[in-house]
Amino acid sequence: MSEWRPSASLEALNARAELLQHLRVFFAARGVLEVETPQISSTTVTDPAIDALCVANASPQAPQRFLQTSPEYHMKRLIAAGVGDIFQVARAFRQGESGRRHNPEFSLLEWYRLGWDHAALMREVGELIGEVLGRTGWQIWPYAALFQRVLGIDPLRDQIDEARLEALAASRVGDVPGGLDGDGLLDLLMSHCVEPTLRDAGIVFVTDFPPSQSALSRLISVQGSTVAARFECYVDGIEVANGYWEQSDADALRTRFAADNAVRRQRGLVERMPDERLLAAQGPGLPDCAGVALGVDRLLALQLGVDTLSEVISFDWSRA
Amino acid sequence: MPNFSTNEFKSGLKVMLDGEPCSILENEFVKPGKGQAFNRVKLRNLKSGRVWERTFKSGDSLEGADVMDVELEYSYTDGEFWYFMDPSTYEQYSADRDAVGDTGKWLKEQERYEITLYNGSPLAVTPPNFIGLEITETDPGLKGDTAQGGSKPATLSTGAVVRVPLFITEGESIRVDTRTGEYVSRASKN
ipTM of the complex: 0.82
Mean pLDDT throughout A208-223?
Answer: 91
Q: Nearest by CB to B34, which of A101, A188, A242?
A: A242
Smallest Cα distance from B116 to chain A, Å = 28
Fold (CATH) for B130-186: OB fold (Dihydrolipoamide Acetyltransferase, E2P) (2.40.50)
A98 with B33: Cβ contact below 8 A: no
Residue of chain B minimizing CA distance to A243? B33
How far from A225 is each of A128, A256, B51, B104, CA to CA, in Å?
Answer: 30, 20, 44, 66
- Using 50, 70 and 90 to split pLDDT, how confident is the model at A115? very high
b/e map A151-172, b = 16+ CB within 10 Å = bebebbeeebeeeebbebbeee
- Using 50, 70 and 90 to split pLDDT, how confident is the model at B59? confident
- Put simply, whether B10 touches A (Cβ < 8 Å) is no
Residue A12 phi, psi (nearest 5): -65, -35
Residue of chain A minimizing CA distance to B28? A99
Answer yes or no: CATH 2.40.37.10 is held by domain B3-63: no
- Return residues 16-75 of A near B (CB < 8 Å): 47, 49
A179 with B57: Cβ contact below 8 A: yes
Smallest Cα distance from A61 to chain B, Å = 31
- Put simply, whether B26 touches A (Cβ < 8 Å) is no
What share of chain B has pLDDT > 90, as a percent? 72
Give the tens place of pLDDT for each residue, B86-139.
999 999 999 999 899 889 999 999 999 999 999 999 999 999 999 999 999 998
* Type of residue found at A153: I
Q: Where are the domains of chain B?
A: 3-63, 67-126, 130-186
Mean pLDDT throughout B14-18?
Answer: 94
B56 with A177: Cβ contact below 8 A: yes
Q: Nearest by CB to B31, which of A97, A215, A241?
A: A97
Mean pLDDT throughout A21-40?
Answer: 98
- Put simply, whether A177 touches B (Cβ < 8 Å) is yes
Q: Do domains B67-126 and B130-186 have the same CATH topology?
A: yes
Smallest Cα distance from B98 to chain A, Å = 28
Fold (CATH) for B67-126: OB fold (Dihydrolipoamide Acetyltransferase, E2P) (2.40.50)
CA distance A227 to B89: 69
Give the tens place of pLDDT for each residue, B60-100.
999 999 998 999 999 999 989 999 999 999 999 999 998 99
Go through chain B and tell me how many residues it has: 190
- Put simply, whether A166 touches B (Cβ < 8 Å) is no
Q: Domains of chain A, with CATH numbers? A: 10-138+202-311 (3.30.930.10)
Asked whether the predicted pLDDT for residue A250 surpasses 70, the reply is yes
CB A232 within 8 A of CB B33: yes
B35 with A192: Cβ contact below 8 A: no
- Distance from the Cα of residue B111 to its chain's centroid: 14
Residue of chain B minimizing CA distance to A194? B32
